């Protein structure tokens, strides 16, 4: 169910629980600023989620409140995962949903990394 990205951070969301170790995840990368793990419902041959370790609801929230160090660390983590997964040469797609019109379902910023084969059109024609 899509969420309202303008609401305060809810620390009971699934990604906060993964960060606290309450829910297992198939981790592929972790550093001081980010955690990356396989999506439990993959939409492509490779489908990895990268989340910041801070409590940010959306890209908008993150870009407004995160420190420069957190922003740089998160962006570098996304690039590191794409390189480590061998996605740079064949290509990959990044997706970050913000708010109900985009279909954001978890109130914690996350970037989807899709790859592993042709991905089709970015958005289905209306």
Q: Which tens digit of pLDDT belongs to each residue from 60-82?
A: 999 999 999 999 999 999 999 99
Q: Which residues are catalytic?
A: 110
> Distance of alpha carbon 124 from its chain centroid, rounded?
21
DSSP calls for 84-121: HTT-TTT--EEE---SGGGT--SSS--EEEEESS----
Nearest to 115 by CA among 93, 84, 98, 97: 93
Query: Is 63 in a helix, a strand, or coil?
Result: helix
Q: Which tens digit of pLDDT belongs to each residue from 103-124?
A: 999 999 999 999 999 999 887 7
Instruction: Enter the pTM of the model.
Output: 0.95
């Amino acid at each position: 169910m899509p969420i309202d990205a303008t609401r305060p951070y809810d620390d009971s969301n699934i990604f906060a629980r993964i960060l606290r170790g309450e829910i297992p995840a198939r981790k592929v990368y972790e550093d001081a600023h980010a955690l990356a793990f396989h999506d439990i419902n993959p939409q492509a041959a490779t489908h990895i989620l990268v989340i910041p370790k801070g409590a940010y609801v959306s890209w908008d929230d993150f870009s407004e409140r995160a420190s420069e160090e957190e922003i740089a660390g998160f962006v570098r983590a996304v690039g590191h995962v794409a390189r480590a997964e061998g996605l740079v040469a064949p290509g990959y797609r990044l997706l970050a949903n913000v708010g109900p019109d985009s279909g954001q379902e978890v109130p914690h910023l996350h970037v989807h990394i899709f790859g592993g084969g042709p991905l089709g059109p970015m958005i289905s024609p209306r």
